[in-house]
Amino acid sequence: MTAPFNVLLTCAGRRNYLVDWFQAALAGAGEVLVADASEHAPSMIEARGKGSLLPPVSEPGYFDRLLGLCRERDARMLVSLNDFELPGLAREAARFRDAGVTPVVSDPETVDLCFDKWRTFERLRALGVPVPETRLGLAAAREALRAGLLRFPLVVKPRWGTASVGVELVADEADLEAAYAWTARKIGSLGVGRVGGAGPDEKIVVQQALQGQEYGLDIVNDLAGEHRTVIVKRKLSMRAGETDRAVVEPHAGLSALAATVARALRPRGLMDADAFVTPSGPVILELNPRFGGGYPFSHAAGADVPAALLAWARGLEARPEWLTARAGTISAKCDRLVTAEAASNGKIR
């Protein structure tokens, strides 16, 4: 009898749809397990007995607990959905592989580069990939403004950040000063990003605001880092820093840039990218080495990256249709309510 191929989704939060899509891709060959730091996370409620509570990622011994959970629940594949978990998981990946678990995570160098907006700018520019003009720190930004290398409007953002926290659009010098101070405060109060020993002027980037149409890219590599496909979506609207409505719309220029990035950085699995088509041509803005908020639009159009990942993890080839999305498909997100009863001690049951 073949052993079940269970999949563990960590830091699953509100990604209920991925629970459903991985379960459908398994087609009875295993179960989708869920882990989160909150028992009230929508995915934990909907897991109905398949959810496991973990401590915060920052807690010492977190990855020991996670590996123990994989062994306890016979998880054969691990998919992280959280920016703050990925750097540690990338460094611990060999321990999971030695235990028979396939972690869908890129190498530490790729993960670190994607989360560092300054290093992303430097690396992509070195590859010849168009990126918005960027400066590290307020003094460097002002110098670039005086030299005409930057011009208003600009975007101020944490060098290491997530979910658009601390991101501000500025129209003039006064806005720049105020936004820079505000972003610095947000970094300090929320602990945004992995700032390490960086000095005050090394934690914030100032970037040229882009004019044009925004796109989202699903860049898909296999688990050996070989490039497989790019799915391009034109963003129709945004909400809280995440794509809310989009249409699948192929774009040769964006696909070519994405393929250059994929072959150079060799991410494993899905890499989410933000891009613009400006009057001067396509530009790559940011990279995220995980399932992004824009993936559901690809899935709704017929792609099935969960199925492809499961195939590759089992040493099989992905079907071509799993890596293809129907052009012209328009999708929109909407919230839905999940409920659970509380026991007398207040715990979810």
195 — pLDDT class (breaks 50, 70, 90): very low
142 — pLDDT class (breaks 50, 70, 90): very high
Give the pLDDT of residue 346.
Answer: 52
For residue 147, give every residue at least 6 positions away whose Cβ sits within 8 Å of its Cβ, in sequence order, or none.
Answer: none
The backbone torsions φ and ψ at residue 79, rounded to the nearest 5 degrees and listed phi first, read -125, 115
Give the pLDDT of residue 281.
Answer: 97
Q: How far apart are the first and last CA of the chain?
A: 32
3-state secondary structure of 334: coil
Residue 155: pLDDT above 80? yes
The H-assigned helical ranges of the chain are 16-26, 42-47, 62-72, 86-98, 108-115, 117-126, 138-146, 173-190, 252-265, 295-300, 305-313
Q: What percent of the chain has pLDDT over 90?
A: 82
183 CA to centre of own chain: 21
More confident of the two residues 1 and 77: 77
Distance CA 112, CA 65 (A): 23
Residue 197: pLDDT above 60? no
Encode pLDDT of 232-282 as tens digits: 999 999 887 789 999 999 999 999 999 999 999 999 999 999 999 999 999
Give the pLDDT of residue 187.
Answer: 87
Question: Interior CA angle at 270 toward 183 and 315, to 5°?
Answer: 150
Give the pLDDT of residue 46.
Answer: 80
Distance CA 252, CA 40 (A): 43
193 — pLDDT class (breaks 50, 70, 90): very low
Give the pLDDT of residue 69.
Answer: 97
- Count Cβ atoms below 10 Å from residue 258 Cβ, excluding itself: 28
Distance CA 190, CA 76 (A): 34
What's the pTM? 0.93
Average pLDDT in the chain:
93
Distance CA 171, CA 164 (A): 18
For residue 334, give every residue at least 6 positions away whose Cβ sits within 8 Å of its Cβ, in sequence order, or none.
Answer: none
Residue 185: pLDDT above 50? yes
For residue 246, give every residue at least 6 positions away whose Cβ sits within 8 Å of its Cβ, in sequence order, or none.
Answer: 216, 233, 234, 235, 236, 294, 297, 330, 331
Peptide bond into 4 cis (omega under 30): no
